[in-house]
Structure 1
Amino acid sequence: MPPKSDLAHVTQLVTLNFITAKLTRADFACDDTELQLQVEAHAPGVYRLRCAAAESLQSDKPSARSRAHAEMLLARQEAVGELAVSSIAEPAQLGWRLEQGDIALEIVRSPLEIALYRGDECLLRTQPGAALACKQGAGDGAVAWRFSAELDGDDALHGLGESGGEQDRRGGFLVSDAPAARALPLVWSPKGWGLYVNSLQRVEHDLGRENPDLYQALVHDPVFDLFIFAGEPAEILNQYTALTGRAGQPGLWPMGVWLDQAPGQSIDDTLRLVQEFRANQWGLDVVRLAAPAVYGFQADKPAFEWAPARVSDTRDLFARLQALNVQLAAPSFPGVLCGTHMFAEWEDRGWLLIDDDGNAHVFPGDDVSGGQDFGLLDLTNKDVYKLWSERQRQLVDEGLGSPSCDAQFDIPDGITARGGESGPALRTIYPLLARQALFDAVAGHKTPQEGVICSTDLFPAVQRFAWQTGPQAGNDWAALQQTLRAALSLADSGVPVQTHCLGSARHPVGGMTPELYIRWLAMSVFSGNFSFQGIPALLPGAFDSATRELVQHWLQWRYRLIPYVLGIIEDAVRTGLPVQRSMALAFPSDPVAQVWDTQYMLGPALLVAPALQPGSHIQVYLPKGDAWWDLNTGWRYEGGTTWTVEAGLDTLPVFGREGHMLCLGPTAQHTGDFNSARILDEVWMFGMPEHSPVVMRNKIRVMQMQGSSYIKGLEGLRILPAEGLEVKRRGAEVRISRAR
């Protein structure tokens, strides 16, 4: 991890002077400097603070490259809020109040201080007299900014990327462009504030490591650009994703079960495993091939070819896959192998990333390149980007379901792209461009855009791509907890889906007991999605008949849940809310719930408490403010209570939130079994329905009138009402009322 930068010599912004105010923006000058501060009402409850030299902020004609960089980060460039500016004339606090309804940003003139309010409640306050500091390097001209905000003693910090530990990141330190940090740019508190540093350059997040009472961001960028959010965490994610972009649709088949090919396994052996799944009625939809890349550029032509040692006849392969009703995901990488004609030709053209001497940089071989050294395509070059994306699309047209590509390379500082990007900016941009090029290939020609790209890469705006591949953490109970925590931390960062790996082919498998296997599978079923690992010891056939029957039981549940889970992802396109939601995200006003940080909400209706250690007794906390219905017993529990639930391996503590419904599909072996005209089979009600359900292609609507609920869209579905309710069908309408 890069060392923290030396800011011994800084210009502290101490005093502001008002310049002017417009409908959406107020401008201030910083005394004794050439800097200006702009405060913008970017959206209701969202403020944008930009500070830099006046000429940088007032430029009306940014370059094409600057516009491209801005679009990589922000889906919405223009402000849509309105600002009411008034003066604060208190003797001890001269300054300005910038209001958006009941949300206000107060700026103290001297010493500079910024505070965020909702009504009379202060949500966030900067360090008095040390809100913002600037350092300009004497020789290299580099600019860095330090922003400091005070933390209350019980302020938890969520977001900022992947964590295999606690969701509260307080006390940590992250560097945005260090691949090992797994960092993302949004941080928020359950108390109602959030921060997003809008930069492609390095950002160092000190979450209380240096001073436990401060959050500090060190931003290495000529322009300081910070968005401040006010609201509940769900509203912060809504505004953040509306600002930075939301996910496209994954489609139906990716929601089915996946099988990851074992390293070194032949495709014939993998297809025999698929046949075993089919013979045992274990649901399966997708095979994902293992590294190395199964296709890539020919040695002497800019065209893709399949690796003949692995795929001798592509038509035969896709015919066999189609006969088995499975889709194919395959590894790729944005590079060309060293020692080939294409490497030499593209080095001459300037189509590869170059070093200080102008030569193509050679990256050491890895698993995907088959151990061969390679050069990376310069995806900042439009011609290169277009070529790579078009070649990928040709394979998609042949039958490839999804490319799989990890492109978060640790690119050395001296490496440069054609557009001049290097260092932290290039490390940030590169995986973003790779994922976008692949998504264009898979979904760009569809309306609406639909498709998934398998990748573990994290970068700003990663939430625009619905599918995130989870870690292969290991094969013990600690690894199960790690993969769950990683998913919940990414969900807190705005990523809609992280899929789980059921165990790891990269770790010793001795700790994978039948009990752990089934508990891991059950948790994965109630998630965005998951994949089996193709090594024999981690497949259902390695276990006894009782365990295999439990596998079949849980896979049937998975396919019944698909309409609900896909509906949650479709909802993420509109709201930015993820599939698996942490207690802090779902229940910010219940501090007790936040302590139970391995429970989660699966969408709006289901609370899931997975078993994370051996035994059949599982403790569950039911958040206050709602009543909860046990899916296994039908019993109703009041919120704000803790229970010990006995759950055998065929059950999982899952509770329905009162007022919601769960819509289930039919039992299936793969998504090809789904009847698109009748995707639903059954509806479970948790108390009196008050909310329209989240479900794929939702046409079900709930209305309340005179103490009853009237529901349209339940034709032909079995209805399981909660205890104490009665159901009356009236043509196309269903009336739910309390039993007399």
Structure 2
Amino acid sequence: MTQLFNHLSLLTTKPALADFAFVETDFALRIEAHAPGVFRFRCLPAARLDNEKLSTRAKALSDMLLARHEAVSEFQLEAADSGWRIEQGELVLLIQANPWRFEIRRGEQLLLSSAEQPVTLVQEPNACWQLDLALAEEDALYGLGETLGELDRREETLDSDRPNDRSLPLLWSTQGWGLYINTFERVEHDLGQQDLDRYRACVHAAELDFFLFLGDPSEIINQYSALTGRAGQPGVSPMGLWLDGAQAQQDIQSLRDLANQCREQGIALDVAVLPPPEPYDFQQDKPALEWNAARMAEPREAFSALQNDQVQLAAWTRPCVQAGTSLFEEWEDRGWLLINDDDGCAHVFPGDELSGGRDYGLLDLTHKDVFRMWTERQRQMVDDGLGAVLCNARFDIPDTITSRGGESGALLRAIYPVLARQALFDAVAGHKTPQEGVVASRDLSPSSQRFAWQLGPQVENTWAGLTESLKSALASGNSGVPIQIHGWGNAAASTSEMTPELYLRWLAMAVFSANFSLQGIPALRPDAFDEETQAQVNHWLEWRFRLVPYVLGIIEDAVRTGLPVQRSMAQSFPADSQARLWDTQYLLGPALLVAPILQPGQEIEVYLPEGEAWWDLSTGWRYEGGTTLKMSVGLDRLPVFGREGHMLCLGPVVKHTSEFNSARLLDEVWMFGMPEHSPVVMRNKIRVMQMQGSSYIKGLEGLKILPSEGLEVKRRGAEVRISRAR
């Protein structure tokens, strides 16, 4: 049975919401002014309008989706010739009553309109809502998760319950609108594949609940993250160099030996990752986590040695218990594991790489006692010295399992990785003020943006693999995930095509990113290459540590704004249609434009977005935007341009994050034209004020200042004045 909705009548209106009835149906439409530039639409049974009290479980799920439930804005509603006009600032939502349609305008500009039939409900065999929006010819569509191909997702189809689609729920257009469908249930997206002029979402849920964001992409991501939750931040140590262990079953001593070998070659590591399988697990008969004795016999001594080495340990973990143990049987009896509906027995998942080939059961994290227990056990490991945890928890959970919370099917598959990461984040950072810690994962699921530290994809050690690693970070950033850590190559792939040139180009891109990890296998370590290549590696690693104050400042901003570290050209310059075509260039934070070299040779073309001026970091030359440059770039260079009006604050030359002096985090300040914006930098206390054609800056005491050509610097006490040279 298909339910059509053609005719609206107004029921009630308040400053923040309006309720409408779908005439001749049992359903209603509620529209909220949820925040400035944000409208919420809900299609639900009319009987629920006056009974919005949620069950405990439904509220828990809602809290996992939304960080801000209450509307914080208002609108004005008035009758119009054919329906109603809702004004929110300069935005106008026009609703046609019969047949029902809507469109949103800013002044005379049409931002978004519905299709002829905005909403349809297919009620058999299960409820499935269809939301249809009209697509303009100019709509370029971004977000919706990770892609290794074109960042513009138009003409694609995606399914949130299909793991290979790597989907996330935020979609936005360069035309000034964004969409978030507020559900953990399965959502199928058709971005114009069947009909180029229509976007369709099929939402397998009891009600249709979606948010429309109006603004440029940065505003949309800001509003989306404010609505759905923002990330905590890492400390300084995770911003240093990571090392992925060399082989499966590697023990802690050989990992330390590997780290020390790197240090002898001038490469100091901050975080070392014990490779799979999981190096600690529950005891077979007790609900206590313990380290695998073959890999870490004396944990206290091992962590003490790592502390002396100034290396933090990261390790893989998952909410599992080994099948066939007495603890598995005890938790099966207590209902603490995911249970098969048909026989009431715990479901046994086949062994995999992370479990070391051993079959296992999954803890039912929807059970609050199980969630609390697992969090507490993980916190004990952190208190013992574990620095960061890595967890892939998107499992192929059969439809024949219903959790203690009542979830099953696509819903359970979606919320399980969220619960796993939330429990781990509570263990690592939840007891700290402010919350600070790293929980990394390759999984993507709703709420991924709350945990920030995303691991990049497993790619081939080829030029194409380098491009895919970059595009995955930009696509995740378009979807609201602020941080991706790149692999510097991939230890699991063939290394036959990893030339010194590719190795250095990969490193140069990774240096100008959130962070990256050195692969521990011999073929992907710097000492596998010639001395000249190793010298270039040290050159780029020196740059990396100088950039740490800037990059960590971007991440601190992400906690406040949700904006990613690596920002696509479409996200940063949506009005520049030419810029969108250069989709392997990106902004690193607000100040730097980076153009990685993704093919052999030294020749590259770089597009500088219009409306801005850009300063080449290597030469200091200024270029007007809207131009394309042809450049020849050696292995010791990367095309990076400073954005006019911004500043770049660099740290001192160090080899390790422990060498940062908290009293002197910065060493130099590079200026790109007359400073207009306060710089992005960790623990920022630098402020810019403009007056009478000059910039006055406080917070640069003791720093070397490199002004752009044509500017002069004058110091007076704690204040620096930048003015035109006479």
Q: TM-score with structure 1 length normalisation?
A: 0.97
Q: List aligned pairs for 1:146-225, cutoff 5 A.
A: 146-225=130-209
| Alpha-carbon distance in structure 2 between the residues aligned to 1:191 and 1:115 | 13
Q: List aligned pairs for 1:96-135, cutoff 5 A.
A: 96-128=84-116, 130-135=117-122
The DSSP-based 3-state class of the residue aligned with 2:327 is: helix
Tell me the CA shift for residue 318 of structure 1.
1.2
**Counterpart residue number, 2:594:** 608
Q: Which moved more, 1:592-601 or 1:206-215?
A: 206-215
| Alpha-carbon distance in structure 1 between the residues aligned to 2:13 and 2:48 | 19
**Counterpart residue number, 2:245:** 261
Tell me the CA shift for residue 66 of structure 1.
0.8
Residue of structure 2 aligned with 1:22, choices 11, 14, 20 = 14
Q: List aligned pairs for 1:219-234, cutoff 5 A.
A: 219-234=203-218
Tell me the CA shift for residue 677 of structure 1.
1.1
**Counterpart residue number, 1:722:** 708
| Alpha-carbon distance in structure 2 between the residues aligned to 1:300 and 1:171 | 53
Residue of structure 2 aligned with 1:144, choices 93, 116, 128 = 128
Residue of structure 1 aligned with 2:498, choices 512, 526, 536 = 512
| Alpha-carbon distance in structure 1 between the residues aligned to 2:27 and 2:457 | 44
Q: CA RMSD in A?
A: 0.9
| Alpha-carbon distance in structure 2 between the residues aligned to 1:275 and 1:60 | 60
Q: Which moved more, 1:578-587 or 1:204-213?
A: 204-213
**Counterpart residue number, 1:682:** 668
| Alpha-carbon distance in structure 2 between the residues aligned to 1:515 and 1:162 | 27
| Alpha-carbon distance in structure 1 between the residues aligned to 2:265 and 2:720 | 39
Q: List aligned pairs for 1:256-295, cutoff 5 A.
A: 256-264=240-248, 265-295=250-280
Could you list the per-position Cα deviations for residues 161-217 of structure 1 after superposition, in whole angstroms to 9, with x for gaps in the alignment?
A: 000011101111111122221100010001100000001111111111111111000
Residue 283 of structure 1 contacts residue 555 of structure 1 at CA under 8 Å; is this kept in 2? no
Residue of structure 2 aligned with 1:86, choices 78, 103, 110 = 78
| Alpha-carbon distance in structure 1 between the residues aligned to 2:610 and 2:582 | 13
Residue 289 of structure 1 contacts residue 330 of structure 1 at CA under 8 Å; is this kept in 2? yes
Could you list the per-position Cα deviations for residues 481-534 of structure 1 after superposition, in whole angstroms to 9, with x for gaps in the alignment?
A: 000000000000000001100111111110100000000000000000000111
**Counterpart residue number, 1:375:** 361
**Counterpart residue number, 2:32:** 40
| Alpha-carbon distance in structure 2 between the residues aligned to 1:379 and 1:88 | 50
Code of the residue aligned with 2:504 in structure 1: it is I
The DSSP-based 3-state class of the residue aligned with 1:127 is: strand
Tell me the CA shift for residue 650 of structure 1.
0.5
Tell me the CA shift for residue 685 of structure 1.
0.4
**Counterpart residue number, 2:324:** 339
Could you list the per-position Cα deviations for residues 194-243 of structure 1 after superposition, in whole angstroms to 9, with x for gaps in the alignment?
A: 00000111111111111111100000111100101100110001110010
Code of the residue aligned with 1:135 in structure 2: it is V
Tell me the CA shift for residue 55 of structure 1.
2.0
Residue of structure 2 aligned with 1:74, choices 62, 66, 70 = 66
Q: List aligned pairs for 1:265-664, cutoff 5 A.
A: 265-356=250-341, 357-664=343-650
The DSSP-based 3-state class of the residue aligned with 1:711 is: strand
Tell me the CA shift for residue 60 of structure 1.
3.2
Residue 160 of structure 1 contacts residue 183 of structure 1 at CA under 8 Å; is this kept in 2? yes
Tell me the CA shift for residue 12 of structure 1.
1.6
Residue 204 of structure 1 contacts residue 218 of structure 1 at CA under 8 Å; is this kept in 2? yes
Residue 13 of structure 1 contacts residue 132 of structure 1 at CA under 8 Å; is this kept in 2? yes
Could you list the per-position Cα deviations for residues 429-457 of structure 1 after superposition, in whole angstroms to 9, with x for gaps in the alignment?
A: 10000000000000011000000101111
Residue 179 of structure 1 contacts residue 409 of structure 1 at CA under 8 Å; is this kept in 2? no
| Alpha-carbon distance in structure 2 between the residues aligned to 1:628 and 1:48 | 39
| Alpha-carbon distance in structure 1 between the residues aligned to 2:451 and 2:251 | 30
**Counterpart residue number, 1:3:** none
| Alpha-carbon distance in structure 1 between the residues aligned to 2:681 and 2:94 | 42
Code of the residue aligned with 1:109 in structure 2: it is A
Tell me the CA shift for residue 656 of structure 1.
0.1
Could you list the per-position Cα deviations for residues 284-321 of structure 1 after superposition, in whole angstroms to 9, with x for gaps in the alignment?
A: 21101110000010000000110011111112211221
Code of the residue aligned with 2:657 in structure 1: it is T
Structure 1, gaps ≥5 residues long: 1-8
**Counterpart residue number, 1:6:** none
Tell me the CA shift for residue 267 of structure 1.
3.0
1:667 aligns with 2:653: yes
The DSSP-based 3-state class of the residue aligned with 2:587 is: strand
Residue of structure 2 aligned with 1:252, choices 236, 240, 261 = 236
| Alpha-carbon distance in structure 2 between the residues aligned to 1:666 and 1:379 | 45
Code of the residue aligned with 1:314 in structure 2: it is P
| Alpha-carbon distance in structure 1 between the residues aligned to 2:182 and 2:560 | 22
| Alpha-carbon distance in structure 2 between the residues aligned to 1:499 and 1:190 | 27
Residue 259 of structure 2 contacts residue 268 of structure 2 at CA under 8 Å; is this kept in 1? no
Tell me the CA shift for residue 56 of structure 1.
2.9
**Counterpart residue number, 1:5:** none
Percentage of pairs with the same residue: 62
The DSSP-based 3-state class of the residue aligned with 2:412 is: helix
| Alpha-carbon distance in structure 1 between the residues aligned to 2:113 and 2:714 | 55
Residue 138 of structure 2 contacts residue 175 of structure 2 at CA under 8 Å; is this kept in 1? no
| Alpha-carbon distance in structure 1 between the residues aligned to 2:518 and 2:709 | 38
Structure 2, gaps ≥5 residues long: none
Tell me the CA shift for residue 268 of structure 1.
2.8
Could you list the per-position Cα deviations for residues 377-415 of structure 1 after superposition, in whole angstroms to 9, with x for gaps in the alignment?
A: 000111111111111111111110011110011211111
| Alpha-carbon distance in structure 1 between the residues aligned to 2:539 and 2:689 | 35
| Alpha-carbon distance in structure 1 between the residues aligned to 2:604 and 2:48 | 57
| Alpha-carbon distance in structure 1 between the residues aligned to 2:445 and 2:261 | 38
Code of the residue aligned with 1:300 in structure 2: it is D
| Alpha-carbon distance in structure 2 between the residues aligned to 1:675 and 1:59 | 57
Code of the residue aligned with 2:214 in structure 1: it is A
Q: TM-score with structure 2 length normalisation?
A: 0.99
| Alpha-carbon distance in structure 1 between the residues aligned to 2:49 and 2:492 | 50
Code of the residue aligned with 2:233 in structure 1: it is Q
| Alpha-carbon distance in structure 2 between the residues aligned to 1:579 and 1:717 | 25
How many pairs are equivalent? 724
Tell me the CA shift for residue 82 of structure 1.
0.3
